[in-house]
Amino acid sequence: MARLASLTADASAPTELSEQKAELATYPKVIKLGQRNRALTERIRRAGKTIKDAQGTSLFQTKKKAEARLNSVKQRLRVKITAQARKRHFRTANTLAFNARFSATAVTSISTQDI
């Protein structure tokens, strides 16, 4: 579904994570929850079961809660990082556009003065 469009919308504003995606994996809480989730998966497998076979057990419920918590934290961080990237973009976009226009004008006026 298309987003609401506006004549004043900035198409260059970030709407998704790109290079910040790798940043998610370095957050201590994500690392801790990921390790817990993997440990619970390993415990289920050591018991000789697949994840699907473990459904209904308390260990499976614990794993699902850990997995849900991990996904929740990751989603919150994605929203936060995207909001920060958008804020940074809108803080600097006008300045960068002005500087680009000014430096192009300055180069043109300098070169015409030399003639």
Q: How far apart are CA 26 and CA 45, in angstroms?
A: 27
**Per-residue model confidence (pLDDT) at position 102:** 72
**Per-residue model confidence (pLDDT) at position 1:** 44
Q: Helices marked H in 15-57 — which ranges?
A: 21-24, 28-46
| Domain spans, the chain | 23-114
**pLDDT per residue as tens digits for the range 18-58:** 666 677 788 899 999 999 999 999 999 999 889 899 999 99
Mean pLDDT of the chain: 78
**pLDDT per residue as tens digits for the range 63-102:** 999 999 999 999 999 888 888 877 877 777 666 666 677 7
Q: How far apart are CA 22 and CA 25, in angstroms?
A: 6
CA atoms within 13 A on the CB side of 65: 6
Check whether 7 has a pLDDT greater than 50: no
